[in-house]
């Protein structure tokens, strides 16, 4: 079992729709959860992080965390073509140093 | 957010040569830096964790004699790929965790290495 699992996609949504990206993790002791966006050929950029169960909203983005189910998701409202990228879920392993383990990423395509 | 600068962004070298990649935190002190490697259409694979003033901790399967990491100051970490071979061609990305931040990592721009 992979430590962090994501559906590779591509996830195709029309412009203006809600894109829903999902991620599961195996280490029950994980404490911090991050969503990064990566454009082709570029390094990842942080979108959001979440520590507590529930929802966290930032602009068009909402992160949702359910530690009991070991599940974290990212919702993107009013999707734009510029949101087309690969979205990486990252989990901070328990035990210090904030080492992040990344999922394989979900490719999102927003079409006009 | 914090700025991490990585250099060079692209490097092409001949097989057997060594290549050094630098990672600098520009506006904060990075106590811990991480080096990742990414193959095309794959996720980031953590190679090693480096802490200022101490030896790097390598992930399982990563050859520490081939990928030398030095974190000599709170703002600079270097990765040296020694005796590079074509299979070492990849996208190498550094990241830094600063003091006082909430745990998120800030990434450099990445360095694309091509070994001929």
- Tens of pLDDT along B4-46? 999 999 999 999 999 999 999 998 888 889 999 998 888 899 9
Nearest CA in chain B to A49: B104
In percent, the amount of chain B with pLDDT more than 90 equals 66
Tell me if B34 and A45 make a contact (CB, 8 A cut-off): no
Question: Do the strands B111-115 and B10-13 form a parallel or antiparallel pair, or are they unpaired?
Answer: parallel
Task: Report which of A61, A48, A111 is spatially closest to residue A82, judged by C-alpha positions.
Answer: A111
Q: What is the mean pLDDT of residues B50-56?
A: 85
User: Is the bond leading into A10 cis (omega within 30 degrees of zero)?
Assistant: yes
Tell me if A102 and B43 make a contact (CB, 8 A cut-off): yes
Task: Report which of B39, B4, B11 is spatially closest to residue B25, judged by C-alpha positions.
Answer: B4
Residue B28, pLDDT score: 84
Cα(B112)–Cα(A45) distance, integer angstroms: 17
- The structure tokens 């969503």 sit at A35
Tell me if B109 and A88 make a contact (CB, 8 A cut-off): no
Of A46, A101, A104, the CB nearest to B104: A46
pLDDT in tens, A2-61: 789 999 889 999 999 999 999 999 988 888 899 999 999 899 998 999 989 999 999 999
CB B37 within 8 A of CB B29: no
Residue B101, pLDDT score: 58
Cα(A98)–Cα(A106) distance, integer angstroms: 23
Mean pLDDT over the full length of chain B: 90
Q: How far is B76 from chain A (nearest CA, A)?
A: 17
> Helices then strands (H, E): number in chain A?
0, 11
Tell me if B107 and A34 make a contact (CB, 8 A cut-off): no
Q: What is the mean pLDDT of residues A63-70?
A: 96
Judge whether residue A70 has pLDDT over 70.
yes
pLDDT in tens, A75-107: 999 999 999 999 999 998 765 556 788 999 999
């Amino acid at each position: 079992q992979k430590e962090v699992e994501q559906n590779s996609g591509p996830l195709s949504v029309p412009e203006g729709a809600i894109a829903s990206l999902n991620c599961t993790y195996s280490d029950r002791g994980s404490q911090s959860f991050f969503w990064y966006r990566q454009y082709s050929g570029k390094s990842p950029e942080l979108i959001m992080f979440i520590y507590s169960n529930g929802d966290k909203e930032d602009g068009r983005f909402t992160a949702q965390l359910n530690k009991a189910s070991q599940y974290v998701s990212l919702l993107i409202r009013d999707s734009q073509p510029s949101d087309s990228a690969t979205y990486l879920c990252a989990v901070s392993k328990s035990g210090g140093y904030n080492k992040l383990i990344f999922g394989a990423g979900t490719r999102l395509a927003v079409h006009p | 957010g914090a700025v991490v600068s990585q250099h060079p962004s692209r490097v092409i070298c001949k097989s057997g040569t060594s290549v050094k990649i630098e990672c600098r935190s520009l506006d904060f002190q990075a106590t811990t830096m991480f080096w990742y490697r990414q193959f095309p259409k794959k996720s980031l694979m953590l190679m090693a964790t480096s802490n200022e003033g101490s030896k790097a901790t390598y992930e399982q399967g990563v050859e520490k004699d081939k990928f030398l990491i030095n974190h000599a100051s709170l703002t600079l970490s270097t990765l040296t790929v020694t005796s590079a071979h074509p299979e070492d061609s990849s996208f190498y990305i550094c990241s830094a965790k600063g003091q006082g931040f909430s745990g998120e990592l800030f990434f450099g721009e990445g360095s694309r290495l091509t070994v001929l």
